Structure 1
Amino acid sequence: MSAPGTRRIVLWRHGQTAWNLERRFQGTTDVDLTETGRAQAKRSARLLASLTPHSIISSDLRRTRDTAAELAAVTGLEVTYDEALRETYAGAWQGLTHDEIMARFGEQYAAWKRGEAVRRGGGELETEVADRAAPLVERAAEKLPSGGVLVVVSHGGTIRTTIGRLLGLPSPSWEALGGLSNCAWSVLGEGVRGWRLMEHNAGSLPEPVLGDDV
């Protein structure tokens, strides 16, 4: 439980897509939710509404927009969309399955999993994703009233790098934060020494983690 007056950030991953099921790397490709993904968003939105959020910000891709819309429908809040919350751009990896990536970019894939700074498929570094996403989240959180709740609707990789940055963790250790299941969320609470991780991958266990950040 957080102390009274503590501001909270809820980082909520989008619902299931067909590419998640196919283990196909999405990145910034604009992929729709499946019917299961829409049902996940509806269910999770009802749970998150009980936190009485004050504001919602979202990636502008369809899978996050449609997820955020479910929470907006039950809370009456407007959603602010920003491309800074998009998933990591992964260049030539996008659209490939993980097996195809390992076959074509094996050493690059292995280096990424070792925690090395890698431009996957010629795309963004994870630190560059944090550079664009974390400041946006911090600015939105600063506008919250005492005890306010900000919901950030984004993507698995972007959420992980944002959490790592807000917690002040060194980038090679961000991999220690496990991936989020579809429509699961993590909660950061404001402490005297900065943000603290209060919950991680909440709301959907034991659902498998399917997506780019596996």
Structure 2
Amino acid sequence: MIDEVVMLRHGRTQYNLQHRLQGQIDVPLDIVGQWQADQSGYALASRFYWAKVNRLATHPESIAQPPAAAAERTDINQYCEAPAAARRMVVISSDLFRAQQTAHAFADLLGLEVTCDARLRERSFGQWEGLTREQIKAIDAEAYASWKRHTGGETRYGVESRAQVGERGAKAVRELIQDPRYADDETSTTMMLVGHGSWITATIANLLELDPDGMNALGGMRNACWCRLKVRHTINGQPADRPLFELEEYNKAPAIADSADWENGPADLRGSSMPDWCPIIW
């Protein structure tokens, strides 16, 4: 049974650095984005180390064994009997490459497979994809202002509304939770979904029944940060009609983000031609 969902946003890309709307354009991580993905991957792999124990207990043939001349063999029973082995994790990524790179930065450390799913793709920005805010404003200042006010002017250009993204994302999450490939009633499971900022924010808002355009809407996600939701399948001991969600963490970053320049990365990763990242100015 899937009783926990973690949503991880991809690391930085050149489009993020340039403040271009990526949407569903396939853009890879830049060097700082790979560093961000790796730092979050290290932090999450440490936190969820039990997932590696579960994988090794489930597939004991993959446990490393010493040469035949060694004094003794690796004790497989230690993995099978460890309480950590009772819980498992599945990792599902958007099929866009930046999300796959971020998923593997975490999953590869624990030896977990990554499954790609197009339902986790970012919000589509239609005709605005690839453009900066300045370019959008020059094309249609009224539509831009409406987008800024959350009154829907962007939809004139084929942009998915926040509500549509949330509905699409929540539908995908609910379907994945019930998917027999991932749902095992006998094993408590964490589902790691690796995707995109707007998709994550809108999806969580829908799952929590928040207005994506209202004053109580969630704030934006930083690159390579994550959210965690508890999934409840019962109410007062009785089966619920559908899973219920409780937000436990939002926009969480690894500890290094508190001491390093998270958006720009370490100085030794930045060549002379790389500009500084700057906050978005509407």
Structure 2 residue 212 is matched with structure 1 residue 171: yes
Structure 2 residue 248 is matched with structure 1 residue 198: yes
Provide the residue aligned with 1:31 in structure 2.
27
Aligned counterpart for 1:106 among listed residues 133, 141, 161: 141
Provide, for residues 39-69 of structure 1, a one-character-per-residue CA deviation record: whole Å limited to 9, x for no partner. Answer: 1111111211222461111110110011111
Shift of 1:147: 4.4
Q: Whole-Å Cα distance in 2 between the matches of residues 210 and 88 of structure 1? A: 22
> RMSD between aligned alpha carbons?
2.7
TM-score normalized by structure 1?
0.86
Letter in 1 for 2:223: N
Provide the residue aligned with 1:90 in structure 2.
125
Aligned counterpart for 1:150 among listed residues 191, 194, 200: 191
Shift of 1:176: 2.4
Change (3 A) 1:179 1:211: farther
Shift of 1:108: 1.7
Number of matched residues?
209
Provide the residue aligned with 1:64 in structure 2.
99
Shift of 1:175: 7.1
Aligned counterpart for 1:137 among listed residues 169, 173, 179: 173
Letter in 1 for 2:37: A
Percent identity for Structure 1 against Structure 2: 36
Q: Whole-Å Cα distance in 1 between the matches of residues 156 and 117 of structure 2? A: 23
Asked whether the 8 Å contact 1:160–1:179 carries over to 2, the reply is yes
Provide the residue aligned with 1:181 in structure 2.
222
Q: Whole-Å Cα distance in 1 between the matches of residues 111 and 44 of structure 2? A: 13
Structure 1's unaligned 5+ residue stretches are none
Structure 2 residue 168 is matched with structure 1 residue 127: no
Asked whether the 8 Å contact 1:182–1:210 carries over to 2, the reply is no
SS in 2 for 1:182: coil
Structure 2's unaligned 5+ residue stretches are 52-87, 236-243, 264-276
SS in 1 for 2:5: strand
TM-score normalized by structure 2?
0.66
Shift of 1:33: 0.5
